[in-house]
Amino acid sequence: MPKKKKKAKILLAEDDKFISLAYKDGLERSGFHVIVANDGVEAIKKFKSEKPDLVLLDIIMPQKNGFEVLEEIKKSKKQKNIPIIILSNLGQDTDIKKSRELGASDYLIKSNFSMSEVVNKVKKYLDKH
C-alpha cells in the first residue's frame, strides 16, 4: 500500500475571525493542515510549538503586529528558513519593503488575490522548501 503523504502544516496568523475561517477552509480543502493564531503573541507560541511548514502572516494584529512576529520568527536558528508569506490589506511600498527586509518570502495584498491564487502561492513555496 502506498504511504500517505504527510499534509503540509500551515500557520495562519490572522485576527479577523471571518477571514481566518475563509482561508482555513480554502486551505484545508486544498489538502493542508491549518493552525490558526488570532494575535501576534499566539502566532509566535504556535510557531515554536507546532513547527509549521509555512506561515501566512497578517500585519495588523493585536498584541504584536506582523512585523514584530516576522522579526522574532527569523531569529529562530532552526526554523528561520520556513517560508513566511505576508497576507495583508496594507499595500504601501514601505510595508512591502519592510517585510522583505525582515525576511518575508512574499507579500500578498488580500484584495488582489483569490483563494486559489493564495493556495497556488503556498504550494509554490512549499515545493521550493
* Dist. CA 84–CA 76, nearest whole Å: 13
CATH of the domain at 115: 3.40.50.2300
Residue 18 lies in a domain: yes
Taking CA 34 as the corner, what is the angle to CA 114 and CA 98, rounded to the nearest 5 degrees? 60
Count of domains in the chain?
1
Q: Please, are residues 102 and 71 in contact by the beta-carbon 8 Å criterion?
A: yes
pTM: 0.92
* Residue ranges making up the domain that contains 34: 9-128
- For 5, the 3-state DSSP assignment is coil
Identify whether 73 is part of a domain.
Answer: yes
Q: Is 93 among the domain residues?
A: yes
Domain membership of residue 3 (yes or no) is no
In a domain, 44, yes or no: yes
- Residue 22 CB contacts under 8 Å (≥ 6 apart), including other chains: 115
Q: Encode the chain (129 residues) as per-residue pLDDT tens digits.
A: 555 567 999 999 999 999 999 999 999 999 999 999 999 999 999 999 999 999 999 999 999 999 999 999 998 777 778 999 999 988 889 999 999 999 999 999 999 999 999 999 999 999 876
Residue 2 domain-assigned? no
